[in-house]
Amino acid sequence: MLKLCNISKRYGNIEVLKKINLEIKPGEIHGLVGENGAGKSTLLNILFGMSDIGNSGGYKGDIFLEGKKVTIQNSNQAVKLGIGMVHQEFALIPYLTVRENILMGREKVFPLSKKFLGESLAYIDKEKNRKKTVNILQRLNIKLDSELKILDLSVNLKHFVEFAREISKESLKVLLLDEPTSALCREDTEKLLKVLHNNDLKDTAIILISHRLEEIVSICHKVSVLRNGEIVDSFNLSNFKSNQLKTSVIKHIARSMIGHTINKIQRNKRKKLQDKEDPVIMTFKDFSVHMPGEMISSINFNIYLGEIVGIAGLSGHGKLALGNGMFGIYPYSGHVIFDNQQLDITNTAEVLAKGIYLLPDDRRNSGLLLDRSIMENIIFTPVQIKNEFLAPFFYNNLSFIDRKKSSDYTKQCIKKFDIRCHNIKQKVNSLSGGNQQKVCLARAITMHPKILFVNEPTRGIDIAAKEIILHILLDINQNLGTTVIIASSELDELKRVCDRIVVMHEGKIFNIFSPETDDIEIILAFSGEMLTESEKV
């Protein structure tokens, strides 16, 4: 179905893809793995004719579709050729509804209006389109109101909408999936992958990028490993059915990606599950947050000084709402007490100045200044809130950025966080997704927060960099005394670093577990169920 011959791509002097050769059959799911910045998204962007590729000098090499050579200059051409893409950072129109986004350009219209007014002026049959959308969403087994605006959806639901839009296209020849599951919890990932696995798309050639190697090994037929823009290894996965073989092939792929083996971070000294004696740093009283698709209602919860708390649960049950609500991003009610005083969470500058910081999961929309350099992104909040990185006052309160200090510090961050970039001046929107996430974290850490809320810190991060990030979170907790609240879909990571794990269900705290608790018990709590005493035994 798809054949790539010697595909190369340069950004200025830097060659980010070097003579990529790849063949994918109809019905084949081909995994593409590699470190952050290895060139995976660039390859898919070429195949989907993304404007960024054309604007930066295009690509070299040949693309064949069903044996015919094609040139892809823009996304319109790609769509016409039968190529669909689910983007890492969404390509949805925020002010339109789920229905409008899924069916855009393919809406059902009233036949008579089409006859008299022509296709482009025909009246859209809203009811028929609504039913069609509901059917598509049912195919994905997802409960979602088709009339909600994209703007009001959580990140995981946006992923489902993108996926629904692509798989509902007839005559889809090639489907490009750029980390479609990175924002999803295990259950939602399974729903989505089931559609791929069930051969619903049996004539389509699929390329799947994922940093979750278990996922790649479970559903892909083949996998190619990209390192520094080159394919360094490929594996035929059809032979690896048993769990033991899967584990060994995962290790093999990981080594091939990174070039060395990875040591998983494990916290040694943990705090005991809190008792009444421990000092409380923050209290939520009757706290509700009306975050669309992630509401929490009337929770009462203490955060203890110096702990690392994990917040887990299925998407849509409120896991992400605590941090987002804390920063007044969505309407809320109730009270937040910090250091024995009521906090005015509508005053973000004051919240930040008190040493409370949020690293949001939606980094592109609320975490980064995309058009600014890595350095500006890292120092921005410390300059604004804490007057850091400024040269001595020039006149009254007027001062300039201390360039040397800022650039030395940024270089340190690049090293510490292993941010793969050309230099400190590179604009953040030209960094790979995982490296953007590292910039967000570097800024958060630069604030030396007393309390750090992090939503999905390792989303889109490669397997080696994940360990760096977990290590840094442990480090600021142990050495700076930062209290850390991590909302994450990665239960394994929460178990490795947290003192306790709070499970949210239907917007409430369902239970709080010690990290030693068996996975099954925690996962059951995700659905609001508990093991009986005899089952525990």
Binding of ligand ATP at residue 213 (CB under 6 A)? Answer: no
Q: What are phi and psi of 227, to 5 degrees?
A: -135, 125
Binding of ligand ATP at residue 256 (CB under 6 A)? Answer: no
Binding of ligand ATP at residue 257 (CB under 6 A)? Answer: no
Binding of ligand ATP at residue 247 (CB under 6 A)? Answer: no
DSSP assignment of 144-157 equals: --TTSBGGGS-HHH
Of the residues 315, 432, 482, 488, which one makes contact with ligand ATP according to CB under 6 A: 432
Q: What's the min distance (Å) between Cβ of 41 and ligand ATP?
A: 3
Q: What angle do CA 237, 243, 248 make, to 5 degrees?
A: 65
Token couple for 27: 């019905």
Count of alpha carbons within 13 angstroms of residue 297, beta-carbon side = 7
Q: What's the min distance (Å) between Cβ of 165 and ligand ATP?
A: 21
Per-residue b or e along 404-419, where b marks 16 or more CB atoms closer than 10 Å to that residue's CB: eebbebbeebbebbbb
Of the residues 313, 318, 355, 433, which one makes contact with ligand ATP according to CB under 6 A: 433
Of the residues 156, 410, 435, 477, which one makes contact with ligand ATP according to CB under 6 A: 435
Q: What's the min distance (Å) between Cβ of 222 and ligand ATP?
A: 18
Q: What's the min distance (Å) between Cβ of 438 and ligand ATP?
A: 9
* Beta carbons within 8 Å of 101's beta carbon, 6+ residues apart: 92, 93, 150, 161, 165
Binding of ligand ATP at residue 267 (CB under 6 A)? Answer: no
Of the residues 348, 366, 430, 511, which one makes contact with ligand ATP according to CB under 6 A: 430
Site string for ligand ATP, 390-429 (x = CB under 6 A): ------------------------------xx--------
Token couple for 382: 């410390």
Neighbours of 118 (CB within 10 A): 9
Binding of ligand ATP at residue 441 (CB under 6 A)? Answer: no
Nearer to ligand ATP, 432 or 455 (CB): 432
Of the residues 56, 75, 302, 366, which one makes contact with ligand ATP according to CB under 6 A: 56
First to last CA, the chain: 53
3-state secondary structure of 252: helix
- Helix-strand-coil percent breakdown of the chain, rounded to 5? 35, 25, 40
Q: Is 454 left (phi over 0), alpha (psi -120 to 50) or beta?
A: beta
Q: What's the min distance (Å) between Cβ of 429 and ligand ATP?
A: 7
Residues of span 458-517 touching ligand ATP by CB under 6 A: 462
Q: What number of chain residues touch ligand ATP (CB under 6 A)?
A: 21
- Residues forming contacts to ligand ATP in the complex (CB under 6 A) are 11, 16, 34, 36-42, 52, 56, 420-421, 430-435, 462
